[in-house]
Each structure stands twice: as structure tokens, then as C-alpha cells.
Structure 1
Amino acid sequence: MAGQQDPVIWLRPEQAAVGRPAERSRAEITAAAVELADREGLEAVSMRRVAAALGTGAASLYRYVATRDDLLDLMTDSTAAEYHLPAPSGDWQSDLLGIADQARQIMRRHPWLPTLVITRPTLGPHGVDLLEHLLDVLAEHPAAPARKLEAFAVLNALTALYVQNEEAAADPGAQRQSAYLRHVATAGTHPRITALLAATPPEGKPHDRFPTVLARAMAGVLG
């Protein structure tokens, strides 16, 4: 039928119906792709490179994963298996921060993940478990169900953006930009920037504002 899309990979058979018996599993293929991305970046992930890591040919991978996009979806969802999902404590704000803290650590372990979370959010079996947990945390919150779903999306996207910003801040280019901003502040031609930087501690470990930013965002979405 024209315009009909293929179902998500988790609704398709593990292996093509024709061909030799299965030699690999999607889990093995996904793990190899994640390891490759962790080591060399997302750009290194191709069917050919993943197949080489598994000691097989790229053509054989297409029996399990139809496209690279499918592979990216499998990779993203696999990282959601790294969450620890304890029973809700009754303090929804604390529990949401706990989810976000875990997301932050997972994204730091997999530097390629924030880009996929932002550009092609995916909800597979492990992601569904995470969503169910968040809804359990918010079960007694009076917000409408749609707002709770929005909170899930915002939590993931905000965490991804925050991790990307942390990585960018460590880049030498960002330090050059900071030096220029200090020059502008010293010149006195932009008084609001001067006042802003004057109120910012110049040295020492910066205060982690992630919990505050997240709490404000969640309060706004669920308000």
C-alpha cells in the first residue's frame, strides 16, 4: 500500500524468513555497534564495519538488521538497559532527578548517544521500561497524562543537550570564546554582560546547575 511504512524493528522477526539458520543475534550486532561507536564515534558505525568486527560480511547483517537506521535505533534502546529502576520513593522530584542523573552518566559513557537522543528519539523495549518507570514515579502527580509524556521527552532531550554543552565547554575553542567574552566585559561597552560575569566565580570548580535546571524544567512541564 502506498505510503505504508515498515514497522519498527522490534515488531519484525529477529531474522529474515529465508536464508541460512541464524548465526548471530540482534543483541550481538548491537553490542558490536555500540563498542565501535564508543571507541571511534558514531560516524564509524556502518554495516561493513560492524560486520568486520563480528568477523562476517556486511551482506549477512542485512538478514538481521535491514538498515543502518535500524541499527541506530537498536543502539539507542540498548543503552536504556543500563538504568537501575528502583521503586518510587514518593518524592517525584527526587526520583526524576535520579533518572536524569543516570541518563547523564549513561550519555557520558556513550558520547554518541546525546546526538541520537536529540535527532532521532527512539522507544524500544528498554525505553518502554524506562517510560513505565517514569509514569510510576508520577502516578500520584495531578498532571495530565500528556504532560507526563512531555516530561519524559523533555528530561531526555534536556539531559542530552546538557551533556553536549559540558563536552563543548571543555573544548579549546570554548575557552577562546570565554577569553573574548571576558575582553568584552572588561571593555565596559556591554554593561549587562559585565555585570553577569562579575557575578560569576572566576576560579574553582563550577557549581553543578544541572539539578536546578532540570527541576525548573520539570516544574514548568508538569505545572
Structure 2
Amino acid sequence: MAGQKEEVIWLRPEQAPVGRPAERSRAEITAAALELADQEGLDAVSMRRLAATLGTGAASLYRYVATRDDLLDLMIDSTAREYHLPAPSGDWQADLLAIAHEARRIMRRHPWLPSLVVTRPGLGPHGVDLLEHLLDVLADHPAEPAHKLEAFAVLNALTALFVQNELAATHSGAQRRSSYLGHVAAAGTHPRIAATLAATQPETTAHDRFATVLARALSGVLG
């Protein structure tokens, strides 16, 4: 039994072969967890709280998900269903940036998601579909297969970090930190910081910065 629990949830049957018929489905439980996390944050998602939302007992949920980690994996993978994945256009960079912009929108829709993308990089069925699409986009690219997998990891990680910074910038402390950096630049004790800030184009949008940084990173990984 211990070995079974170590398997990812998608390798375990959704319904036990014996016992009472299932009253819930993984999809129903996952959808309720997503709604709870979107409304109240990831800390609100506990087995007890989720059971109350579904009108059942916490113990009964363990018939469907063995641990909270299982639930988090289901939640992450469920968000990958939201990607729109058109056929490759032949322009690999444009297609990868399109995937990244989709990822950014999905992560902003689910503010709890970026931290999990960084800390729990495993893939479920929908994540595997996304990886297959990226590899299809890069099918004719001369990069080594390992570098293509690295590009997938870099795209996800950089997008998650960018969204985390965007979300943090909306907090009250962000303005104080920005003001302090301006104070440091004006003091004249850190001339390189001052010169860099002076040369930064304020009209550059977050959308432009995101695309530029990601394109550079992906080009570096793929060669």
C-alpha cells in the first residue's frame, strides 16, 4: 500500500474496485478546490474545508484523493485544460511566445498557481498535452531533445516568476520598495543603479518586457 501511495494520482484508479459506488468524481472535487483557491487563496484549501464545501465528511474525500498533495496536483493539471493550442504556424518563437502569453493569462486568473508551478513542476494528463504541443512546435528545430525539454521548463518557470512579480507589484509594499530604490539612485552612492534606472524606458509595457525577456531566454536555451 505504501508503494501505491507514492504513485502519481493519475496512475491510480479513480474508483476503488470494491466498496460503495463513488458519489463524487475527481473532476468535481478538483473544480470545487479551484473555486475555493481562486476566491480565498491556496491556504483555504484543506480537506476539511473542501469537504464542507461539497457537503460531505473530510474522511470521505480520502476515497478519491489520498493526500492534499494529490489534490494540488489535480488542481495544477486542471488549469492546463484552459490552454488554446492552435496548430504550429512554422514560426517557433512566435508559437512559444503565444503559449507563454496563454500561461500568463491562466496564472493571473488563478493567482495561487505561479508558486505551485515553481515548486511542483510535475505533469498530469493535460500538462502532458501541453508539453506535446510545445514539442510539436519545435519538431523541426535543430536543438537537442534535452534542450527542448529545458525550454518547456524555462517557459513555465519564467512565466510564473513574472506573474508573481506582477501580482506583488499591486501590493502596498511595492510602492515603498520602488521609492527606496529611487532614493538610492538619487543619493549618488550607486552610480550604476542610477544609470540603469535613468536609461529604463518607462513607456515599456509589462507585455513587452515579458515577451522580450522570454524570447531571449528561449533563444539561449535552444541555441
TM-score, length basis structure 2 = 0.95
The match for 1:9 is 9
How far apart are 1:5 and its partner, in Å? 6.5
Deviations 1:37-82 (A, max 9, x none): 0000000111111111111111111001000000000000000000
How far apart are 1:6 and its partner, in Å? 2.3
Does 2:136 correspond to 1:136?
Answer: yes
**Distance (Å, rounded) in 1 between the aligned partners of 2:59 and 2:101:** 39
The match for 2:71 is 71
How far apart are 1:19 and its partner, in Å? 2.6
Aligned sequence identity (%): 82
Pairwise CA RMSD? 1.7
Please tell me whether the aligned partners of residues 107 and 163 of structure 1 are also in contact (alpha carbons under 8 angstroms). yes
Which piece of structure 1 moves more, 185-194 or 60-69?
A: 185-194
SS for the counterpart of 1:140 is coil
Which piece of structure 1 moves more, 191-200 or 156-165?
A: 191-200
**Distance (Å, rounded) in 2 between the aligned partners of 1:115 and 1:177:** 21
Deviations 1:72-96 (A, max 9, x none): 0000000000001110000000000
Does 2:179 correspond to 1:210?
Answer: no
Gaps of 5+ in 2: none
**Distance (Å, rounded) in 1 between the aligned partners of 2:176 and 2:72:** 34
Write the mapping of 1:1-223 to structure 2, written as runs, cut at 5 A: 6-201=6-201, 206=205, 208-223=208-223
Which piece of structure 1 moves more, 178-187 or 152-161?
A: 178-187
Please tell me whether the aligned partners of residues 77 and 122 of structure 1 are also in contact (alpha carbons under 8 angstroms). no
Please tell me whether the aligned partners of residues 76 and 122 of structure 1 are also in contact (alpha carbons under 8 angstroms). no
Please tell me whether the aligned partners of residues 5 and 66 of structure 2 are also in contact (alpha carbons under 8 angstroms). no
SS for the counterpart of 1:17 is coil
Gaps of 5+ in 1: none
**Distance (Å, rounded) in 2 between the aligned partners of 1:150 and 1:142:** 14
Which is richer in helix?
2
Deviations 1:92-116 (A, max 9, x none): 0000000000000000000000010
Amino acid corresponding to residue 60 of structure 1 in structure 2: S
Amino acid corresponding to residue 43 of structure 1 in structure 2: D
Alignment CA distance shift 1:205-1:90 (3 Å): closer
Amino acid corresponding to residue 69 of structure 2 in structure 1: D
Amino acid corresponding to residue 123 of structure 2 in structure 1: L
Please tell me whether the aligned partners of residues 185 and 194 of structure 1 are also in contact (alpha carbons under 8 angstroms). yes
Amino acid corresponding to residue 131 of structure 2 in structure 1: L
Amino acid corresponding to residue 66 of structure 2 in structure 1: A
Which piece of structure 1 moves more, 172-181 or 127-136?
A: 172-181
Please tell me whether the aligned partners of residues 10 and 124 of structure 1 are also in contact (alpha carbons under 8 angstroms). yes
Alignment CA distance shift 1:211-1:78 (3 Å): same
